[in-house]
Amino acid sequence: MSPSPCSDPVKLPPLDALQSAAAIVHRSIAPTALIRWPLLQERTGAEVWIKHENHTPVGAFKIRGGLVYMEHLAREQAGLAGVITATRGNHGQSIAFAAARAGLRAVIVVPRGNSPEKNAAMRALGAELVERGGDFQEAYEEAMRIAAEESLHLVRSFDERLIAGVASYALELFAAAPPLDAVYVPIGLGSGICGTIAARNALALRTEVIGVVAAGAPAYARSFAERRPVATEAAETIADGIACRTPNADAVRIINQHAARIVTVSDAEIRAAMRALFSDTHNAAEGAGAAALAALCRERETMRGRRVALILSGGNVDRDVFARVLGEKG
């Protein structure tokens, strides 16, 4: 098996590393749109800017980390048999997209019952899909087993190269937006919020970075409250992109040190935010992508009159799920 990523503590990349990673990303994708939406301002009482990561070629921010990771991997390890990772969908699409560009075999392990449309998208990008386990953690354990068995390089979902890559959306955000009071970021395994923190810190800005988790997957909120990694028995939520039950210790350390707070939102609030985003911006948001708006709505009174950015992290929601959400009252 190819060597695992370094076991030393993950560090936040400095500005020069973030800029180099952004240059890699921008060879393949253009900066995504940043739009101020008046109807969202009326809804929340805040000046709301949306960073539209749902508009990347794979419909989510994860593509950025995959491109940077695979670029470094190709430089560092010649003759790889291929790569393997575990995912609920967006990370897998990122790795499949980047691996295809690098000419590498990509094996993606997903839990049973995973989103059919995300599965189809990964296959269309050339990935070999393996369905194992009841949730992300069990799929990840299967990916580790297959990696050893087939001499594949295991791509974890949290790594300095992934952080540097996804931080490119935050560099774009801070360069294009007026000075921001806060930015809300959904937390899956943590690369998105840690990339946002890395960019904020590197640029010496005072913007608050606020994490968002689902009530059915509160591992990072509990870890923030207890100042240590806290796993949960289950992670059940409509927002499969943030359905984590075993937090990454490095991500917990970074978030606990640098985030302002973590907001926990219910699935009902997430579904309401999905409907609001469609009504007010005519964008489709998956559950994780709508979580930031759900958190702002929860904190409406606290954030009234402030200038806020929301990371719409992805739009990869299955059609039947989205139809049911849009058909609900409220």
Topology adopted by domain 63-154: Rossmann fold (3.40.50)
Averaged pLDDT score across all residues of the chain: 94
The H or E element that residue 118 is part of is: helix 116-124
Residue type, 65: G
Q: Are strands 47-52 and 34-36 parallel, antiparallel or unpaired?
A: antiparallel
Domains 15-61+160-327 and 63-154 share a fold: yes
What is the Rg, in whole angstroms, of the alpha carbon atoms belonging to the chain? 18
- Report pLDDT for 249: 96
Instruction: Give the pLDDT mean for 304-326.
Output: 97
Q: What class is the 15-61+160-327 domain?
A: alpha beta
Categorize the per-residue pLDDT at 254 as very low, low, confident or very high, splitting at 50, 70 and 90.
very high
Check: CB of residue 317 under 8 Å from CB of residue 189: no
Asked whether the whole model's pTM tops 0.85, one would answer yes
- pLDDT reading at 195 higher than 70: yes
Other CB atoms within 10 A of residue 257 CB: 10
**pLDDT tens digits along 236-247:** 999 999 999 999
- pLDDT reading at 227 higher than 70: yes
Instruction: Give the pLDDT mean for 256-277.
Output: 98
| C-alpha angle 241-141-259 in degrees, rounded to nearest 5 | 40
- pLDDT reading at 8 higher than 90: no
Q: Are strands 47-52 and 128-131 parallel, antiparallel or unpaired?
A: unpaired
Q: Is the dihedral of CA 213, 53, 37, 321 positive or negative?
A: negative
- pLDDT reading at 173 higher than 90: yes
- pLDDT reading at 206 higher than 90: yes
97 phi-psi bin (left φ>0, alpha ψ -120 to 50, beta other): alpha
Check: CB of residue 32 under 8 Å from CB of residue 169: yes
- Report pLDDT for 123: 96
Residue found by looking up tokens 């990772």 in the block: 85
> What length does the chain have?
330
Residue ranges covered by each domain of the chain: 15-61+160-327, 63-154
- Report pLDDT for 4: 38
Residue found by looking up tokens 């990916």 in the block: 143
Instruction: Give the pLDDT mean for 141-169.
Output: 94
